Amino acid sequence: MSETMNAGTTVEPVVHLTPEAAEKVKEFQSSTPSESVLRISVIPGGCSGFEYGLDMDNEVRDDDFSFDSEGVRVVVDPFSAQYLAGVRIGYHSSFQGTGFTFENPNATGSCGCGTSFAV
């Protein structure tokens, strides 16, 4: 399934949300005052070199990749897209904690926190 980037280029979805992750994002979206999108980013830092960022955003920039995953509108900036291609984002809830999980086929290493990775 291809979607259109704002600049008019056709792209495949960069990341895929599991149904559980999509439901949790929709819960967050329902508490925001206006229609928001899920912004997924990669930020330099963390114990392995890069960290994942998830945020609700009201703005889609001209150079963002924009697509739907499991009924959620997702945006990714060009810098982050190169590290996120093929990432699967899930949501896990257990006695030890809850949160989003990242399966990144591009990562060469990660740390115990689950939100830091190396490429």
* Residue with tokens 């115990």, as numbered in its chain: 112
**Under CATH, what is the fold of the domain 3-114?**
Hypothetical Protein Aq_1857; Chain: A; (2.60.300)
Q: Region of 21 please: left (phi>0), alpha (psi -120 to 50) or beta.
A: alpha
- Give residue limits of the domains in the chain: 3-114
Question: What pLDDT is attached to residue 37?
Answer: 93
pTM for the model: 0.79
List, for residues 6-63, the tens digit of each pLDDT value: 443 435 678 999 999 999 999 989 887 778 999 999 988 766 678 889 999 998 899 9
How many angstroms separate the Cα of 72 from the Cα of each of 2, 30, 75, 85? 15, 12, 10, 17
